[in-house]
Amino acid sequence: MLIEDLMREITSIWQTDELRRHKPTPVDEARAGLNIVEQSLWKAIPHYLRRVSNALKKHTGKPLPLTCTPIKFGSWMGGDRDGNPNVTAKVTRDVSLLSRWMAIDLYIREVDSLRFELSMNQCNDRLSRLAHEILEKGVGCLAETSSEDLHESRNQSLSRSQFKLHGQQAPSLPTQLPARADLPACTDYNDGGSQYPKLEFPRTDYMPLSRQDGQGSSSSEISSKDSSENLRKLLANGSVSNSNGSQSAVTPRGSFSSGQLLAQRKLFAESQIGRSSFHKLLEPSSSLRPGIAPYRIVLGDVKEKLMKTRRRLELLLEDLPCEYDPWDYYETTDQLLEPLLLCYESLQSCGAGILADGRLADLIRRVVAFGMVLMKLDLRQESGRHAETLDAITRYLDMGTYSEWDEEKKLEFLTKELKGKRPLVPPTIEVAPDVKEVLDTFRVAAELGSDSLGAYVISMASNASDVLAVELLQKDARLAVSGELGRPCPGGTLRVVPLFETVKDLRGAGSVIRKLLSIDWYREHIIKNHNGHQEVMVGYSDSGKDAGRFTAAWELYKAQEDVVAACNEFGIKVTLFHGRGGSIGRGGGPTYLAIQSQPPGSVMGTLRSTEQGEMVQAKFGLPQTAIRQLEIYTTAVLLATLRPPQPPREQKWCNLMEEISKISCQNYRSTVYENPDFLAYFHEATPQAELGFLNIGSRPTRRKASTGIGHLRAIPWVFAWTQTRFVLPAWLGVGAGLKGVCEKGHTEDLKAMYKEWPFFQSTIDLIEMVLGKADFPIAKHYDEVLVSESRRELGAELRRELMMTEKYVLVVSGHEKLSENNRSLRRLIESRLPYLNPMNMLQVEVLRRLRCDDDNKQLRDALQITINGIAAGMRNTG
């Protein structure tokens, strides 16, 4: 049987297309992320929290509180519009609602399993009272469900009936029931009685339908659509519209209370449809109700509300009318937690704590960790787009052009508008499509609120006005949406997070935060709406592409120190958000090592970090792997908080870092940005141009239509060099910097820095790891076959620099060969070489042929398969 299972698996893989033929949409990407939650994180979170709780109890005597979680998840999929025209306001709204739908669907499954498990009768008084309240309102709910079922059935049967398909005219509705229609079919009625006993049959006497003028109507022509609609209204509120729009009344004989009317509708529905409601079949008969477990009654009510919540979300996703009583569905996490915690307390008080701490505790922990949205969606947009939007607004209002003002004038204008009470953007404003999309995004953000969305990240932030511009656009949208709907926006304001990416912006990050917090309005806003908590994001990808890996690492370290100091000056708590990629060139690497190498004080009990691309699957794709990864995060943050890493022992070390960084940056930029041959060499030596064929993401490879390195995204920049096994972005410039300092007699200082300074040690270790993955002969083969003869000398020069970098990294670390302190990694790399090397040889040959025959689809497919294979073998590709 195992052999057959294996054969089936291999057959399935063999006959599955190895390539994605169409580019995924942002919604496709979001669904893939939600699948990771459903298949892995949903199972991992309860186990992880249980282990954290057990460890805390063992060491402190107190477990983790049930409604506390040290970790939360967010997502950029469907929210990151930075240079991605495919992410629109509608996409963001749909992805957010889809995430909510998935959360509710998962909760329904868990509550179903829980109902089966909690069959006991004994409970505390509070739960007993709640169960009785639910039972008392159950009859009315059942009747309404029956009427809904009837409507669905009639709607389907009438709208899809054969006479409609054949274009025939629909028969008219009868104005009253035929004679003797209320009698059972098993008897012939006559005044003289019957040989069969007369059966009692539920009936309702209805007056004939009549027009407004009181004239009886023997026939009227109503379409099948009208028929089903009228029948729905008939069951819902006792009135029906004729096709001409006039109202007809259906008046039952006698007067009924609302409860009796519901019962009448139920009986009428059952008599007409000839069956019981589906929900009634699932419910126990009334004679059994007293013996039902109260937990099942309460959880049954929870399930019913969850199902109505799910249905409401489906209607919203389909842009259909959605009128639900707020009491019928769950909007917030607390609403769902309340009955679950009541069940938990009841079980604990009745001596069933072992049950309470099982599946029920797991569900409560999931609700706390995932909330009603699974992952809150972060929005991201480039700062220039906000400036363009304000330009359009100020020009429309004859105030001038916003982007032409100096920083002080911008801040004065923004602060004044933020303190005002009126909206800034007129409803009648006509703007360009790009500006309209920005305004629409803020409108959707106002409608969804912070219950569904996380942070608004401003990429390429460089000034305090960049943050206040977003705050103003957000406030304006909230005022407009609130006024239009006549009620406040559902969720709170989004926290606005500046993202400092380039070396220049990183150097100014601290002063920008100081300027922001010195503005009274902003500081009060942070304290009032965000609990005195400022989030600041630092980018590893663009800083690395801008100045090289070593300089980027040092500038990031200094920027974090400065931002933390700025927030401390104003008594504001700070969370640093690390925008790491999968590769070393984009700040990737082992999580524990990365967190432990942060500046002292930068991880004060809180940290955010991105996991991108293939790393999401690698770290969270399997439940056990996910649990381990979450434990690593928790351990590293705890240690960095309780036992912060050591700062540099003496100022001399910082001076040496500055010198290494300066030499490294000059070497890197002189090669990448100042050498006129480098761009052409890059295109020839790597499959960068061909990466566009890969349908691996919805985002274009470039921010703008330019062929230069500057506008190329960091991912394809790193990805292309990883394919050739040269991994140039991770080490270029490092060797020159280390060599320059060593030649000045500071070799022993560098060795001491490596041993005693965690930041310097982790930086060198990560570079050493990536050098272990670089392959000199393979990179040389790419040059010999693909690069034109006039540029091969540049390749040879870069390979010499690779050898020099390897030499000086080993000198500083004191290792005899690369990855000496990580033998398991070395074994992994060596075990992959028999697979990687042939794929690289194939890729070179396919690239050579494809560049002579660009339209050859078979060659293009072969190239993409080699790209996927090499990426899988190299692991952290970009």
Query: Which are the catalytic amino acids?
Result: 545
Q: What is the dihedral of CA 234, 235, 238, 241, to 10 degrees?
A: -20
b/e map of 70-105 (b: 16 or more CB within 10 Å)? beebbbbbbbbbbbbebbbbebbbbbbbbbbbbbbe
Helix (H, G, I), strand (E, B) or coil at 686: coil
Are the CB atoms for 141 and 149 separated by under 8 Å? Answer: no
Helices (H) and strands (E) counted in the chain, each on its own, are 37, 9
In the chain, what is the straight-line distance between the N-terminal and C-terminal CA atoms, in Å? 40
Residue 501 phi, psi (nearest 5): -115, -55
- List, in sequence order, every residue forming a beta bridge with 248; answer none if it has no partner: 240
Q: What region does 211 belong to: left with phi over 0, alpha with psi -120 to 50, or beta? A: beta
In the numeric block, the tokens 């995204």 are attached to 713
Q: List, in sequence order, every residue forming a beta bridge with 376; answer none if it has no partner.
A: 74
Task: Please give the structure tokens belonging to residue 262.
Answer: 């519901």
Taking the C-alpha atoms of 813, 814, 819 and 824 in order, what is their torsion angle to the nearest 10 degrees?
-110
CB neighbour class for 136 (10 Å; exposed up to 12, middle 13-18, buried from 19): exposed
Structure tokens at 2: 């195992």
Which residues are registered as beta bridge partners of 553?
none
* Structural tokens at position 7: 């054969």
Print burial letters for 325-346: b (CB count within 10 Å at least 16), e (below 16).
Answer: eeeebbeebebbbebbbbbbeb
What string of DSSP letters covers 15-44?
TS-SS--SPPPHHHHHHHHHHHIIIIIHHH
Buried b / exposed e along 491-526 (16+ C-beta atoms within 10 A):
bebbbbbbbbbbbebbebbbebbbbbbebeebbebb
CA nearest to 665, candidates 510, 553, 519: 553
CB 379 within 8 A of CB 463: no
Q: Are strands 573-579 and 533-539 parallel, antiparallel or unpaired?
A: parallel
DSSP 3-state assignment of 140?
helix
Write out the two tokens for 691: 């990466």
Q: Which token pair is 550?
A: 């070593």
What's 235-304 look like in SS3?
Answer: HHHCEEECCCCCEEECCECCCCCHHHHHHHHHHHHHHHHCCCCHHHHHCCCHHHHHHCCHHHHHHHHHHH
DSSP string, 85-101: TT--HHHHHHHHHHHHH
DSSP state for residue 120 in the 8-state scheme: -
Strand ranges for 138-179 from DSSP E:
none
CB 201 within 8 A of CB 182: yes
With beta carbons less than 8 A apart as the criterion, state whether 95 and 27 touch: yes
Q: Are the beta carbons of 402 and 477 closer than 8 angstroms?
A: no
Q: Which amino acid is at 655?
A: N
